[in-house]
Amino acid sequence: MNEPPVTYEDLAGDGAGVRVVRINRPAKRNALDRATKELLAATLAESDADPAVRAIVLTGDQRSFVAGTDLAEMATVTPTDHLVLNTGRVFTVLDELGTPVVAAVEGYAYGGGCELAMACDFVVAGASATFGQPEIRVGLIPGAGGLSRLVQRAGRARALRMVLTGEPIDAVAAREVGIVSDIVDDGRAVEVAVELATAIAAAPPLNVRAIRKVARHAEAATLNTAMELERTTFQLLFDTADHSEGIEAFLGKRAAVYEGK
């Protein structure tokens, strides 16, 4: 039997609370067809609804994170299909998740793959990983944040340099333009992403969700508006059981046990 195009594994032991979600179409270099995007969206939504999952690592394989959208399928898609089938739903789901998502990228992250990585909270990349938005080479433009997110992160000039030429950039350049947070030795992206996700999973869940919410609003808001939201959220968290547990654990010189309350 063929394996599904998206699989997941819940880690145990030191990695408890971390779910590793894998895009699994190696013969197509993990290119995103509609079935893969639909299953990925469902898997992410289900993971977010599971209280045992406190952090997600999203990855592909050693050769490719996602090499783009499946162009063979794209060739027959009409504008109406995009609307009716909601082909960008996976990106909407990622934007609305409360659970943090760390992308672990090895190899290619092109087109929809680069957009998928940027939709995650941060990206751990193998040293040889490359990122690109080559849509212009097939008569398209990015349609899921590949231009908009890049303009926000990299500025208009550097974003246009990537999108208008379609030329890929390496991991170092991707870190400089704000796509990548960490660069590690090839083959270690998942390992390091899991380490980071494990640390996040051990933190108080309400605080993690609050931090992510404030950060996402801060990307588009004025500084004064973002600061007001940050301050209000800071004050509200004083009333949580996890805050009390954190203080008691610190004063008692023991490890805190957070329950998301």
Please report, for the domain that includes residue 239, its CATH number: 1.10.12
Average pLDDT over residues 125-145: 95
Instruction: Find the domain containing 131 and state its range.
Output: 6-201
Residues 191 and 213 in one domain: no
Residues 106 and 233 in one domain: no
Q: Are 110 and 131 in contact (CB under 8 A)?
A: yes
Residues 33 and 144 in one domain: yes
Average pLDDT over residues 236-245: 91
Considering the domain boundaries, does residue 240 fall inside one? yes
Angle between helices 205-220 and 241-251 (to 10 degrees): 110
In the predicted structure, residue 95 carries a pLDDT above the cut 80: yes
Residues 156 and 29 in one domain: yes
Cα–Cα distances (Å) from 14 to 18, 45, 202, 255, in that order, read 9, 24, 10, 14
- For residue 84, name the pLDDT band (cuts at 50, 70, 90): low
| Of 1 and 11, the one with more pLDDT | 11
- pTM equals 0.93
Residue in 42, 193, 187, 199 with CA at minimum distance from that of residue 117: 193
- For residue 151, name the pLDDT band (cuts at 50, 70, 90): very high
Average pLDDT over residues 122-145: 95
User: Which pair of structure tokens corresponds to residue 261?
Assistant: 């309350």
Annotate 33-50 with b (16+ C-beta within 10 A) or e (fewer).
Answer: bbebbbbbbebbbebbee
In the predicted structure, residue 100 carries a pLDDT above the cut 70: yes
Residues 238 and 151 in one domain: no
| Of 13 and 71, the one with more pLDDT | 13
Residue in 186, 170, 227, 48 with CA at minimum distance from that of residue 104: 186
Residue in 73, 81, 86, 72 with CA at minimum distance from that of residue 42: 86
In the predicted structure, residue 51 carries a pLDDT above the cut 90: yes
Residues 209 and 156 in one domain: no
In the predicted structure, residue 219 carries a pLDDT above the cut 90: no
